[in-house]
Amino acid sequence: MDIINLDALAIAESIREGEISAVDATTAFLERIREVEAIVNAYINVSYEEAARRAEMIDAMLAEGRDPGPLAGVPIAVKDLLSTRGFTTTCGSRMLENFVPVYDATVVGRVGEAGMVMLGKANMDEFAMGSSTETSYFGPTRNPWNPDTVPGGSSGGSAAAVSAGEAPWALGSDTGGSIRQPAAMCGIVGMKPTYGLVSRYGLVAFASSLDQVGPMARNVGDCAALLGVIAGHDPMDSTSIPAEKVDYQGRLDGEVRGLKVGVVKEISSRGIDEGVLERFRAAVSKLEGLGMEVGEISLPSFEYALSAYYVIAPAEASSNLARFDGVRYGFRASAEGEDIWEMYDRTRSIGFGSEVKRRIILGTYVLSAGYYDAYYGQARKVRTLIVKEFERAFRTYDVLVSPTTPSVAFRLGEKVDDPLTMYLSDMCTIPVNLAGIPAISLPCGLSEGMPVGFQLMGPALGEATVLNVAYALESELGFDQRPPIGRS
């Protein structure tokens, strides 16, 4: 059986039916990691021994007639900003290179309770600040479709691992598009849930009002199933929504006839590469063929979303990252013969990479006396306008659509020295984070031989509808998610 090309739910069923064991599944993916990791660099750390022990334990429980969980034995990759007890959590930074948490993030605990096997911690842009996974202290991740290109970011390691067959699915986080953008560039499915639907407890914060954990998978069915595992109220997270649990996977029936689709003008035309637009328009036509009513809508505040985001997110980051000072935990620069202020300065200068320092400086500036109202206050007003425009749009349309990214994956090093151009990679995804609503990216074809992502957005807590429309469209598109590296 070709285990690494099975969907996650197919692996779970095969283990339940006794066709393969948890050890078989885990071993297959660990061997795949050994085979391609030197090219892809999707992981910062791989838990070879612990994963093998976990798989053996699950098989023993199954043999004894005990239930190890509904997804027993299915391997998973975890983005390296989610706390994992007894296993390093680095956030892709020198600052936390040797940090070993003493507790699991809530979502890590939930995938464990479901019986999954953690293969390792996936590479990422340092502290999730980046759109290409080139800012990682542990080296860049490469796109399995073309190793000379980026996988997107900041969840590039999670996306590349799923795409390259190094994991059947993964956990990522999305602050301004960090699940959807790499999912689009690597030709997989990735979802950013409603803010508060999935616990942030144990997630190392970048921008607390924007961060959200979400699933990344090969197809919509797997994505829905993984969301069902990690979603739900958590008293350890003050922003967690006390919503009822939903069986998202069980509600996928593909029946979408009569639903209304709005094409967002501001992020579906200007600034989008022609090849991406062609594939996007073809996918919209597929939705019409499914019996959905398609119209165009203008949301004028989206023009200011990128600017607002790059005020709000750095402002929150400057506050959240103040804790990394060399005193409490993490990296500390040598302080011999220096006072504590010099130690602070050396630790943060050496411990943080250039992009993180750039955002801390920017965030500190916009929060400073005399500039708070002019920058941060104005950005919050723009955010409110975006929220209201989404609310207005969803009074007419069931879902909104756009390309996920303005271009396909670009070459390594192409934009790393041009931050403004790099930031434009998230122009289509950022409004969703500012509004706190759910959105999914699924592959809708190829341009220049590289995957193109199609973004579906829904109202708050509208995950079931978004997933079902994505499921119906996926069936029509018939995209083969396996990159060249996965077909050898």
Residue 117 φ/ψ region, left for φ over 0, alpha for ψ in the -120 to 50 degree band, beta for the rest: beta
Measured between alpha carbons, how far is 306 from 20 in angstroms, rounded to an integer?
Answer: 48
Residue written as token pair 């955002």 = 359
Q: Please state whether the peptide bond connecting residue 154 to the residue before it is cis, i.e. omega within 30 degrees of 0.
A: yes
CB-based contacts of 109, cutoff 8 Å, min separation 6: none
Q: What angle do CA 120, 168, 53 make, to 5 degrees?
A: 45
Tell me which residues are annotated as active site.
79, 154, 178
Query: Residue 402 in contact with residue 455, Cβ under 8 Å?
Result: yes
The pair of three-digit structure tokens given for residue 118, joined into one six-digit string: 């953690």
